Amino acid sequence: MSVELALCLDRDLQRHNTLGLPCVAERFIDAESPARLAAAVAMAQQAGWPLTVLGGGSNLILPRRLSGLVVRPTFADWDYRRDAEGGIALRVEAGMNWHALVMASVDRGWWGIENLALIPGHCGAAPIQNIGAYGVELADVLESVELLHLDSGRYETLTGAACRFGYRDSIFKGALAGRVVITALNLMLSETPHPRLGYGDLATRVTDAPSPRDVAEAVVAIRREKLPDPAQLANAGSFFKNPLVSAEQAQHLLVDCPDMPHFAQPDGRVKLAAGWLIDRCGLKGVRRGAFGVHDRQALVLVHHGGGDAEGLLAFAAEIAAAVEERFGVALSREPRLAG
C-alpha cells in the first residue's frame, strides 16, 4: 500500500530552530506517522537526496540552506503499562514534546524524569546527546530506543546499554550518526518515591517529602531564573559541554583558582563548569553583533537577530579560544551542525 507524502519546496525553517537562524529547506516533509517517515526516507534514498531529520530544533545549528530533503517526525503517541512492583514501562513516539512528557508523567505521580523538566526539544532527540540536568540523565531511565535504518529501511530496537551513553554523548553521535532515525523511546519510571535532590539548591526548593510535580516545578523555576526563554530570546540552551580534564590538570588549575567549581568523576577525571570558565574570561554579557553571551548564564549563547550559522560559529570559536588561552581547557559545543 503506497503512502502519500506532501512535499513542500523551499520551506522556511527559521521558526523551527530555537536559535532563530535563517534557513531554507530545499524540500520538506512533515511525517505524521512512522509509515510516512519510512516513505520519506525511501524517497530520499531513491532520489539520492541528502536527508536531514528535524525535531524540535533545540540542539541544532542550521545553515542558510539545507539541500536534499528535511523530514520532521510529528507522530507523538504514548502509552504505558504498570507492573506489580510499581514500575511504569512508558513508550513514547519521537515527535512528543519532551517537557510535555515530563509534566504528564509527574501529574500521574511517576518518578524518574522530573529533574529533566523544561529541557526543550522532542523525545526523538533526547537520546542523541543523552540529555541531563540536576543530577539525572536520560540513560538512568532509558530501557531501549526504537529506530529506523536509513540505508535499508530496517527497524531495530537498541537496548540502553547498546546506546553507549556518556556525558552528552551516545552512539547516535558516533557510529550511528546520520545512519538512523529514532522513532520511539521506552522508559522505565516508578511509582515508588525516590527524589534526587543533591544537585545545586534543588533540595532547598522543595518540602521534606516532595511529589514528582514538586520537584519538576522547582526545576522549572530554577531554569527560568537562569536561562532565557527561546521564545523571547533565541538560544539553544547550553552551547558548550562542561569539560572533563585529568585530576592532575584540575589540581593545577585549583592552585590559581581555588574557588573553581569542580566535580570528581567515577573514571578519575574531573568535570569543570564551562560557564564559570567563560565568566572568568570576562565574557558574560558580551555581545558581538547579532550574538552574545547571556548576562545571567555564560554557558548560553543568544541570538539577538540578523545573524547566521557562520557568525554564530565564529563567535563560539572566539569564546573557546579565550578559555583555552587562559585555562588551557578546550571547550566543545553541544548543538549539532546540520548539513
- Do 215 and 138 fall within a single domain? yes
Give the C-alpha separation, 47 to 39, whole Å. Answer: 12
Q: Indicate if the pLDDT at residue 86 is higher than 90.
A: no
* Cβ–Cβ < 8 Å for 66, 26: yes
Answer whether residue 89 is part of any domain: yes
Where b means 16+ CB within 10 Å and e means fewer, 193-213 reads eebbbeeeebeebbeeebbbb
330 φ, ψ to 5°? -90, 130
For residue 2, what pLDDT is reported?
A: 66
Averaged pLDDT, 155-178: 95
Of 225, 242, 272, the last residue of a domain is 225
Answer whether residue 52 is part of any domain: yes
Can you give the CATH number for the domain in which 192 is found?
3.30.465.10
| pLDDT tens digits, one per residue of 207-230 | 889 999 999 999 999 999 988 999
For the chain, the straight-line distance linking the first and the last C-alpha, in angstroms and rounded, comes to 32
* Cβ–Cβ < 8 Å for 161, 125: no
Q: Which residue has the cell 541531563?
A: 132
| pLDDT tier, 188 (very low <50, low <70, confident <90, very high otherwise) | very high
For residue 201, what pLDDT is reported?
A: 83
Of 168, 203, 225, the last residue of a domain is 225
- Do 234 and 207 fall within a single domain? no
- Do 207 and 242 fall within a single domain? no
Q: Record the cell numbers describing residue 55, joined without a space.
A: 525535531
Answer whether residue 42 is part of any domain: yes
Looking at the DSSP bridge assignments, the partners of residue 50 are none
168 φ, ψ to 5°? 50, 40
- Do 259 and 323 fall within a single domain? yes
| pLDDT tens digits, one per residue of 230-265 | 989 999 989 999 999 999 999 999 999 999 999 999
Residue type, 117: A
For residue 167, what pLDDT is reported?
A: 87
Answer whether residue 254 is part of any domain: yes
For residue 198, what pLDDT is reported?
A: 87
For residue 208, what pLDDT is reported?
A: 87
Count of the separate structural domains present in the chain: 3
Can you give the CATH number for the domain in which 30 is found?
3.30.43.10
| pLDDT tens digits, one per residue of 271-284 | 999 999 999 999 99
* Cβ–Cβ < 8 Å for 323, 278: yes
| pLDDT tens digits, one per residue of 23-73 | 999 999 999 999 999 999 999 999 999 999 999 898 899 999 999 999 999
For residue 309, what pLDDT is reported?
A: 97
For residue 249, what pLDDT is reported?
A: 98
Averaged pLDDT, 193-202: 88
- Do 145 and 201 fall within a single domain? yes
Structure-model confidence comparison of residues 172 and 1, the more confident one: 172
Point out the residues that are catalytic.
168, 238, 334
| pLDDT tens digits, one per residue of 104-149 | 999 999 999 999 999 999 999 999 999 999 999 999 999 999 999 9
Residue type, 233: L
Answer whether residue 3 is part of any domain: no
- Do 33 and 99 fall within a single domain? no
Query: Beta-strand (E) ranges in the chain?
Result: 8-12, 24-31, 51-53, 60-61, 65-73, 78-82, 87-93, 132-133, 136-137, 142-149, 155-159, 180-190, 234-238, 244-245, 262-264, 270-272, 287-288, 291-293, 300-303, 336-337
How many distinct helices (H) and strands (E) make up the chain?
A: 6, 20
For residue 4, what pLDDT is reported?
A: 78
Answer whether residue 1 is part of any domain: no
- Do 46 and 68 fall within a single domain? yes
Can you give the CATH number for the domain in which 255 is found?
3.90.78.10
- Do 94 and 152 fall within a single domain? yes
Of 225, 259, 287, the last residue of a domain is 225
Q: Is the dihedral of CA 83, 87, 88, 91 positive or negative?
A: negative
Q: Indicate if the pLDDT at residue 266 is higher than 60.
A: yes
Domain that holds residue 288: 228-337
- Do 15 and 34 fall within a single domain? yes
Query: Beta-strand (E) ranges in 94-179?
Result: 132-133, 136-137, 142-149, 155-159
Could you tell me which of 31, 1, 5, 37 has the C-alpha nearest to residue 147?
A: 37
Averaged pLDDT, 190-210: 90
- Do 197 and 238 fall within a single domain? no
| pLDDT tier, 92 (very low <50, low <70, confident <90, very high otherwise) | very high
- Do 320 and 199 fall within a single domain? no
- Do 139 and 258 fall within a single domain? no
Q: What is the mean pLDDT of the chain?
A: 95
Name, in order, each residue with C-beta under 8 angstroms of 251's C-beta and a sequence gap of 6 or more: none
For residue 299, what pLDDT is reported?
A: 95
